[in-house]
Amino acid sequence: MAAGRHDSNIPDEDRISRFDIGVAHPARVYDALLGGKDNFTADRAAAEAGMRAFPASGSSVRANRAFLARTVEYLAASAGIRQFLDIGTGLPSASNTHEVAQAIRPESRIVYVDNDPIVLAHAEALLTSTRPGITDYIDADLRDPGKILSKASRTLDFTRPVAIMLIGVLHFIPDSDDPQGIVDALTAAVCAGSYLTISHLTKDHYPAEMEAFVRAVNEGTQEKSILRAHQEVSGFFRGLELIDPGVVQVSRWRPRSETEASATAGLWGGMGRKAA
């Protein structure tokens, strides 16, 4: 039986007005890059423009998904984590956070957060857990950590360790919206022994291609992506102990095979732990 909880306070007219399919949205562009079917013409156009600029875009997003799966596996299997706060969930795809975590620890509790109404609609149908675990879904913006933390507390016990997942989402938060302040608010709310995992677009590995990719995709989307350098992404982990191998190309974070390790990826990825 499904054990899931979802925000039901969003008025229908509000949901409908937010379904503007004429403008590309990050969740659906990402889905198109992954070869998914939950996207519209504007999303496919933005994804195709991105692929023309950076032909390895498909490999890059798959490497990011594989990073997500490996980090959740590490957290559940090696770090003893049973609670996940996954912000910027994306459309359901292969190896969603609750599937990886609950395959290892069935009692895992997962709270998903996204600001895309189509992710909300799919999450209600698909991001459901099997008992004894639970999934919850919050329709919220990363820029509002107070709302996220307050709603997440109906499912997560913040006196016990929580893994905060910011996979492929911080690059939608410009410096003017204080991404460091948002990360600090989230990590301040969790107890010692909690973790923060981040992946973030960068041009450090493929400068010309990634600049062209972001320019091309940003032309079609309202939410603009920002490329950040290694030092900036590492800075988000301030006050935390970095887990080996530190902030590396996502494909190089504890790869399971040579094929995973050598995948083209224009993202930095890392994990930090909050010490006592």
Ligand X SMILES: C[S@@+](CC[C@H](N)C(=O)[O-])C[C@H]1O[C@@H](n2cnc3c(N)ncnc32)[C@H](O)[C@@H]1O
Contacts with ligand X by CB under 6 A lie at: 26-27, 30, 64-65, 68, 88-90, 114-116, 119, 141-143, 167-169, 172, 223
What does the alpha-carbon distance between residue 105 and residue 80 come to, in Å, rounded to a whole number?
9
CB of 97 to ligand X, least distance (A): 8
Q: What is the dihedral of CA 77, 79, 81, 85, to 10 degrees?
A: -110
**86 closest CA partner among 170, 166, 205:** 166
CB of 1 to ligand X, least distance (A): 26
Task: State the alpha helices, DSSP H only, in 105-206.
Answer: 117-126, 145-152, 179-189
What does the alpha-carbon distance between residue 51 and residue 217 come to, in Å, rounded to a whole number?
9
Going from the C-alpha of 146 to that of each of 64, 183, 184, 188, the distances in angstroms are 27, 12, 12, 11
Residue with smaller CB distance to ligand X, 179 or 272? 179
CB of 94 to ligand X, least distance (A): 10
DSSP for 8-35 reads --S-HHHHHHT--TTSB-HHHHHHHHTT
Please state the φ and ψ torsions of residue 272, each to the nearest 5 degrees.
-130, 155
Residue with smaller CB distance to ligand X, 90 or 272? 90
Q: How many H helices and E strands in the chain?
A: 11, 10
CB of 86 to ligand X, least distance (A): 7
On the 0-12 / 13-18 / 19+ scale of CB atoms within 10 A, 59 is middle
Helix, strand or coil for residue 94? coil
User: Encoding tokens for residue 77?
Assistant: 């299997």
Residue with smaller CB distance to ligand X, 50 or 88? 88
Q: Which residue is nearest to ligand X (CB)?
A: 90
CB of 87 to ligand X, least distance (A): 6
The Cβ of residue 212 has, within 10 Å, a number of other Cβ atoms equal to: 17
CB of 122 to ligand X, least distance (A): 10
Rg, the chain, Cα only: 17
CB of 66 to ligand X, least distance (A): 10
CB of 59 to ligand X, least distance (A): 14
